[in-house]
Amino acid sequence: MKSTVGLIGVGVALTALLVQCVGDSSIPDSGGVDATTDTIATDVANDVPPTDAGSDSDADTASKHAYAANFNGALLVFDMPLTSTSQPTVVLTSNFTQPSDIEIIPGGLQLLVVDGAAGNGPKLFVFDLPITQTSAPKTAVALDFQAIDGTFDNEGNLWVAGFGNKIEKFTMPLSSGQQPAQTVVMPTGPLFGINVTNSDDLFVGGNGHLYRLALPSDAGVYPDGGLDNQKIAAPTGIAFTNSALFISDLSGKAVDDLPAPIQSTTQPTQVGLTVLNQPTRLRFTSNGTLGVADGVRGIVMLDAPAFATANVIVPAVDGGPVTNIRGICFGP
């Protein structure tokens, strides 16, 4: 957690902001050690890899494609299984500025791209599947802040987080001109990683804080007594297994493994140190491999159960499409 690699465009500001605010104690946390740990063990233990989980081996055919967000302005589509020589079958650049997250929309028929760049206005893009070289957004929703990451809760609502200290909820289906259905103000910001467990507990992290709050909630502010774990320098992506929470740590150049039951005092174990450089969004495949979008290395697939080595790295190539990767997901 000692160094940070410079990023491009918004990424430069992102990195500087993370370094500046890591460990910031000027804003009080929201309760120290979590007082409601009785549910946290089951929150994570009951979780399974996401429904859009895919495969990086011939033995697992749950998904046909990997989707990656190139922060330089492209959506990439790869055929599965991934190999270290994989090349994108589709490179879609129209409409994008700096896409940073990709999600399969519940139902599996559409793809969501979060593009939080300020230049052309931050937006959410919805595409029908399959993605081809002529695909165009079916829907574009303007945002009122620079969103970085998104996730769907168990009711099918979309939650987005990014620059600033708020998270916003959108009901589905998305439509042009749609406004957020709910805004929750968090104690600190920016917030670059967000995910929801099967128990509808939302984890959101950034700037040295990993927060947890229960959903649904009508509160417009972060509720007192929620979890605030400050053991990770720069959370930028969140994923779950059946027994642990995995957080990508941008400045630590690693993924932090937090075993359940998660509390504010839970210490993480760093994994992937020898193969990661700038990890951002995370996604598990259905066979337990951890896919990491790495802004420097490319797409890194970490082997279970130790997640210390990579069976596949789709390498970043200067000037090529597989560079500055920030988002990854697997699906139809």
pLDDT at 165: 94
pLDDT at 63: 85
- Note the CATH number of domain 31-331: 2.130.10.10
Single pTM value for the model: 0.81
**Mean pLDDT calculated for residue range 80-102:** 95
pLDDT at 85: 93
69 burial level (CB within 10 Å; 0-12, 13-18, 19+): buried
Using alpha carbons, select from 163, 155, 151, 231 the residue that is nearest to residue 192. Answer: 163
Q: How far is CA 179 from the centre of its chain?
A: 22
- pLDDT band of residue 219 (cuts 50, 70, 90) is low
pLDDT one-digit tens code per residue, 45-80: 333 333 333 333 323 347 899 999 999 999 999 999
Q: Average pLDDT, stretch 180-184?
A: 94
Identify the burial level of 85 via C-beta atoms within 10 angstroms of its C-beta, where 0-12 means exposed, 13-18 middle and 19 or more buried.
Answer: exposed
The residue-averaged pLDDT of 119-141 equals 94
For residues 68 and 1, the model is more confident at 68
Say how far apart CA 108 and CA 187 lie, in whole Å. 34
Specify whether the CB–CB gap between 232 and 256 falls below 8 A.
yes
What is the tens place of the pLDDT at every residue in 7-24?
Answer: 333 343 333 333 322 222
pLDDT band with cut points at 50, 70 and 90 for residue 201: confident
How does residue 26 score in pLDDT terms, banded at 50, 70 and 90? very low
The answer to whether the CB of 102 falls within 8 A of the CB of 329 is: yes
Residues 6+ apart with CB under 8 A from 201: 39, 40, 43, 212, 213, 214, 215
Cβ contact 81:56 at 8 Å = yes
Over residues 265-278, the mean pLDDT reads 95
Confidence band, pLDDT 50/70/90 cuts, at residue 241: confident
Q: Which region, left, alpha or beta, applies to residue 253 given φ > 0 means left and ψ of -120 to 50 means alpha?
A: left
Beta bridge mates, 210:
205, 229
Percent of the chain past pLDDT 70, that is, above it, reads 79
Map out the domains of the chain as residue ranges: 31-331
Type of residue found at 186: M
What kind and span of H or E run contains 19? Answer: helix 10-21
129-136 LR contacts (CB < 8 Å, sep 24+):
129/331, 129/332, 130/65, 130/332, 131/65, 131/67, 131/75, 131/77, 131/90, 131/92, 132/90, 133/90, 133/91, 133/92, 135/90, 135/92, 136/94, 136/95
Of 138 and 46, the structure prediction assigns the larger pLDDT to 138
